[in-house]
């Protein structure tokens, strides 16, 4: 189904061939790896039997832990190659891990660490109570903000064109024979109404056909990554990449409405951006390597807030795939005696996720160079560090 691409170099260090650049610091903003589906009402939207999962709803799976460990091993090898890590257990001034308190994020961070630093007592920090850094909620309490935000969200919802995608989902589910249709008289994903739900202190969300489609697609893609037989992945109804792309348009559209309007994204991401900025700008004692383990909402709102150019992830269906990492790298240019920034999206392909493939320098994860609209990069994708920190300060 997929074309397997091999790279004979480490994607993150290709520009370091002549030892012109020295890696000084890294922040890894990550999404958790493969988990069980989040929806608790899947049986209501289809009469067909859903596959059985061993773990609780929304929990990282054993496969997800393994896959995140594979990423941890790869990053450890890269960071050692670049001299940022040594073959000893790192102290917290070298490596610091901070995760959201959900099981899937904490265990993802632990799995990364266990493979990156075997037999080392490296701690994952997290807050037991609600964590404002990772919590993707609305903060601004003003009516003006609410009105503008809702107007932008409703405009995006109005201009979504998903009829083919929703009809495909409806047919896969046998939706007209579902409990949702029989008991609630909600039988038409194309024409039933969507509603945007907005409240201060809460995560914005949508109810209606778009939410149903997003929830079932989440179950399909996680089943695929988990390695279920295709008869247990959308009941063998997904036959090629075009089908996946058709389905993912719903998920991408859903998240685009609630997370990717610039006003809302900046408000939601503000605590996380402040945390990251403190590491980059204000703290000389900051760890050399920081792992921040969160959710797709964190990835998407940070990407929007930083005003990145549009990007495409090769060999992936998702816009923010499980286990994917935004890797901010601070390099020192030995020739010009200045600090530089490079940003890559590092992630596992759908093939690497489904088949649990190992990652090495010869067979690395996928990577995409991310480009900032507000800063100017050189031909190798490097930004002047001071330009980046000036831009960061404008976000605070």
Domains and CATH numbers, the chain: 11-50+58-136+268-395 (3.40.50.1240), 143-262 (3.40.50.1240)
**pLDDT, tens digit, for every residue of 175-218?**
999 999 999 999 999 989 999 999 999 999 999 999 999 999 99
Check: CB of residue 146 under 8 Å from CB of residue 120: no
Q: Is residue 8's pLDDT more than 80?
A: no
**242 contacts: CB under 8 Å, gap ≥ 6:** none
Angle made by CA atoms 290, 293, 298, in degrees to the nearest 5: 110
**pLDDT, tens digit, for every residue of 42-73?**
999 999 999 999 999 999 999 999 999 999 99
DSSP state of 197: E
Q: What is the reported pLDDT for 129?
A: 74
**396 contacts: CB under 8 Å, gap ≥ 6:** 273, 274, 277
Quick one: pLDDT band at residue 19, thresholds 50, 70, 90? low
User: Looking at beta carbons, which pairs linking 2-9 to residues 24 or more positions away fall under 8 Å?
Assistant: 2/241, 2/315, 2/349, 2/350, 2/351, 3/315, 4/351, 5/314, 5/315, 5/366, 6/362, 6/363, 7/362, 7/363, 7/364, 8/362, 9/361
Check: CB of residue 131 under 8 Å from CB of residue 297: no
Structure tokens at 153: 């969200």
Known catalytic residues are 32, 296
Q: Is residue 395's pLDDT more than 80?
A: yes
Q: What is the reported pLDDT for 257?
A: 96
Q: What is the reported pLDDT for 20?
A: 87
Q: What is the reported pLDDT for 14?
A: 43
Mean pLDDT of 113-137: 94
Instruction: Give buried/exposed letters for 120-143 (b at 16+ CB in 10 A, else e).
Output: eebebebeeeebebbbbbbebeee
**pLDDT, tens digit, for every residue of 207-229?**
999 999 999 999 999 999 999 99
Tell me the percentage of the chain whose pLDDT exceeds 70: 95
**pLDDT, tens digit, for every residue of 285-336?**
899 999 999 999 999 999 999 999 999 999 999 999 999 999 999 999 999 9
Q: Give, in order, the Cα–Cα distances in Å from 50 to each of 38, 130, 144, 185.
A: 13, 32, 44, 22
Angle made by CA atoms 25, 28, 29, in degrees to the nearest 5: 140
Check: CB of residue 326 under 8 Å from CB of residue 370: yes
CA distance 202 to 6: 43
pTM of the complete model:
0.93
Q: Is residue 351's pLDDT more than 60?
A: yes
Which stretch of DSSP H or E encloses residue 339? strand 338-347
Mean pLDDT for the chain overall = 93
Quick one: pLDDT band at residue 369, thresholds 50, 70, 90? very high
**Torsion angle of alpha carbons 134, 136, 140, 141, nearest 10°?**
-110
CA distance 298 to 167: 30
CA distance 69 to 366: 16
Q: Is residue 32's pLDDT more than 60?
A: yes
Q: Give, in order, the Cα–Cα distances in Å from 302 to each of 27, 141, 173, 296.
A: 13, 21, 34, 10
Q: What is the reported pLDDT for 39?
A: 95
Name residue 383's beta-bridge partners.
341, 377
Q: Is residue 115's pLDDT more than 70?
A: yes
Q: Is residue 3's pLDDT more than 80?
A: no
At 298, is the secondary structure helix, strand, or coil?
Answer: helix
Q: Exposed (0-12), middle (13-18) or buried (19+): which is 263, by Cβ within 10 Å?
A: middle
Tell me the percentage of the chain whose pLDDT exceeds 90: 90
Q: What is the reported pLDDT for 10?
A: 38
**pLDDT, tens digit, for every residue of 243-256?**
999 999 999 999 99
CA distance 150 to 85: 46
CA distance 5 to 215: 31
62 C-beta neighbours (distance < 10 Å), count: 13
For the chain, the straight-line distance linking the first and the last C-alpha, in angstroms and rounded, comes to 44
């Amino acid at each position: 189904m997929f074309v397997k691409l091999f790279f004979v170099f480490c994607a993150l260090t290709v520009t370091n061939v002549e030892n012109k650049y020295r890696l000084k610091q890294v922040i890894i903003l990550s999404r958790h790896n493969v988990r069980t589906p989040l929806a608790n009402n899947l049986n209501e939207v289809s009469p067909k039997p859903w596959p059985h999962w061993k773990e609780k709803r929304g929990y990282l799976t054993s496969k997800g832990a393994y896959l995140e460990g594979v990423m941890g091993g790869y990053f450890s090898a890269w960071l050692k190659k670049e001299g940022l890590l040594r073959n000893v257990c790192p102290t917290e001034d070298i490596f610091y891990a901070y995760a959201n308190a959900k099981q899937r994020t904490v265990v993802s961070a632990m799995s990364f660490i266990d493979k990156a630093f075997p037999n080392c007592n490296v701690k994952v920090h997290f807050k037991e109570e609600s964590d404002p850094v990772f919590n993707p909620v609305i903060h601004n309490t003003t009516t003006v903000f609410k009105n503008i935000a809702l107007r932008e969200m409703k405009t995006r919802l109005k201009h979504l064109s998903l009829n083919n995608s929703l009809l495909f989902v409806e047919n896969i589910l046998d939706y007209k024979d579902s409990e949702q249709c029989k008991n609630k008289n909600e039988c038409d994903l194309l024409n039933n109404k969507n509603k945007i739900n907005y409240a201060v202190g809460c995560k914005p969300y949508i109810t209606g056909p778009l939410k149903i489609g997003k929830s079932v697609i989440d179950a399909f893609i996680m089943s695929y990554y988990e390695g279920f037989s295709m008869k247990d992945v959308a009941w063998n109804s997904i036959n090629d990449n075009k089908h996946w792309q058709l389905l993912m348009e719903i998920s991408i559209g859903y998240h685009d409405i609630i997370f990717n309007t610039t006003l809302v994204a900046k408000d939601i991401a503000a605590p996380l951006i402040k945390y990251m900025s403190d590491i980059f700008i204000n703290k000389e004692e900051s760890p050399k390597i920081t792992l921040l383990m969160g959710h797709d909402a964190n990835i998407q709102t940070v990407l929007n807030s930083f005003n990145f150019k549009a990007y495409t992830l090769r060999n992936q269906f998702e816009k923010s795939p499980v286990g994917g990492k935004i890797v901010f790298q601070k390099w020192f240019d030995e020739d010009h005696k200045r600090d530089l920034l490079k940003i890559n999206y590092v992630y596992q392909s759908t093939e690497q996720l489904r088949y649990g493939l190992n990652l090495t320098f010869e067979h690395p994860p996928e990577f995409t160079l991310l480009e900032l609209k507000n800063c100017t990069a050189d031909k190798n994708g490097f930004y002047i560090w001071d330009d980046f920190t000036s831009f960061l300060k404008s976000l605070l």
